Amino acid sequence: MIWRLVSNVWFSVLVNGTPLRFFKSSRGLRLRDPILLALFVIGAEMLSRALNALDSQRQFTSFRVPPRCPVVTHLAYADDVIIFSRRVRSSLILLKKKAAAIGQILGFQKQAFLVRYLGCPLYVRRQKKVYFADIYNAVAARILSWKNQLLSAGGRVVLVKSVLSSMPIHLLATASPSKGVLAALEKLFANFLWGVSDFGTKFHWI
């Protein structure tokens, strides 16, 4: 119904108060068109209902949480969806068919891990230091932007406590980086605090 309304729009322009001939819309919906939000909600709702309906199929074995808790088939946030199921062949086949159908219709492509979700890395198997390179590079870039500024020791302490230390908080609330990653960040903080000279990093007095 919505598509018929959108695709059957005709316009006429007033020139000196006189309407000209009608012409058909051919550009489709624009990026900030108000109806796009409604279409997104409808599409997300239909996808959510289809995923919830998987639990009623005999071939699907849902992911079970403790007794008396609802079945969790998926979690959605904005335009991201994470699907849960047991590691059962029939369940995985159903999910693969659904993903293939969505990809064929919408043109989505499969992406291998590492994947970033809400600023945090999602990975399989053991974690690697390179997975957390983004936060390291962000801190290093922020320090680089302060490099040519004349900052006192007290000013550096304030920046370390109020700015640099707060940058990894979101990541640390959802992930557990290795000790090597945390040590690398602490080294950046310390080098910025004590400063550098033409001969290299200054001696750390703590």
Query: What's the rounded Cα separation, in Å, for the pair 163 and 24?
Result: 54
Q: Which pLDDT does position 165 carry in this prediction?
A: 86
One digit per residue, the tens of pLDDT, for the chain of length 206 reads 877 777 777 889 999 999 889 988 777 677 778 888 888 888 889 888 988 888 888 888 877 777 777 788 888 887 788 888 878 888 888 888 888 888 888 777 777 777 777 777 777 777 788 888 888 888 888 888 887 778 888 888 888 888 888 888 888 887 888 888 889 998 888 888 887 666 667 777 76
Q: Within a 10 A sphere around the Cβ of 135, how many other Cβ atoms? A: 22
Sign of the four-CA dihedral 136, 138, 144, 149: negative
Q: Which pLDDT does position 15 carry in this prediction?
A: 92
- The strand pairing partners of 19, in sequence order, are 14
Q: How many residues does the chain have?
A: 206
Peptide bond into 114 cis (omega under 30): yes
Write out the H or E segment, with its range, that includes residue 83.
strand 80-83
- Per-residue tokens: 196: 């550098």
Let me know the angle formed at the C-alpha of 99 by 79 and 174, rounded to the nearest 5 degrees. 45
Return the amino acid letter for 50: A
pTM, full prediction:
0.51
Residue 119 Rama label (left phi>0; alpha psi -120 to 50; beta): left
